[in-house]
Amino acid sequence: MGDELTWLFLAATAVLVVVIYVVAFETYGTGRSDAAAAARSLLPFQVLFKDLPGGEQRVFRSLQEGAGEAVRTRGESGSWPSVASLADAGVPPFAPDPLDKARRQWSQRRDGLVVNYVGIPSSADGAPRFLILAQEPDPVTGEKAPPPSVVDEEHQLLPDGTLLHVTYWKRSGGDARLDTIGDPAIAGWQQIRVTSPAEEMERWRDRLFRDS
């Protein structure tokens, strides 16, 4: 009886060790804990690019390209380009795209320091709307010539030191508002991010330590 209890104890211990090893490997060896932590750091209205359907990922890439060209024009001319001028220059997503089955109609809206580029689908297949939101700094209190570490996924720095806040959003369903959208999260939009705020903070911290 004593030998049987000893072997039972050893077998249970071995099983426990294996379970601990497997859990540790799954958590630390595959990086799943990092992915879970990144997901937990998202705000309720945020979604990661990698979690979007393939078609929406393609649209998001075109949003980045279009926003980059709009920001470049804003830096050179001092004003935001119209949708028509961007389309004439062949800049996506404003230029006609035969692969865009939703046939989104793009418009520019502005209210003070807030600029919107909004794409509303022409088709009725439930395709989402997309939004590029650019926020100009306050001319009195806005930051000028910030350190390079301030430039991140949501900020664009113009040659004159003006720091713009540029974000990307999507929304399915709901009424198509015609006014300028200043706070998309309140209006039911989802912000699309490439990295989570926690991952961006980690990169910012690493960059800060490297530069110091």
Q: 206 and 137 in one domain?
A: yes
Q: How many domains are there within the chain?
A: 2
23, 58: one domain: no
Residues listed for the chain: 212
**Is 35 inside a domain boundary?**
no
pLDDT digits (tens, 9 = 90+) for 34-80: 555 555 679 999 999 999 999 999 999 999 999 999 999 999 999 99
**Are residues 149 and 61 located together in one domain of the fold?**
yes
Q: What is the pTM of this model?
A: 0.76
Identify whether residues 19 and 110 lie together within a single domain: no
Residues 68 and 131 in one domain: yes
Residues 9 and 82 in one domain: no
Do 6 and 74 lie in a common domain?
no
Q: Helix 32-40 crosses helix 197-211 at what angle (to 10 degrees)?
A: 110
In a domain, 130, yes or no: yes
Q: Is residue 6, in this structure, part of any structural domain at all?
A: yes
3-state secondary structure of 108: strand
- 36 belongs to a structural domain: no
Domain of 11 in residue numbering reads as 2-30
> Who wins on pLDDT, 14 or 44?
44
Please choose, from the candidates 91, 125, 89, 93, the residue with its C-alpha nearest in 3D space to the C-alpha of residue 106.
93
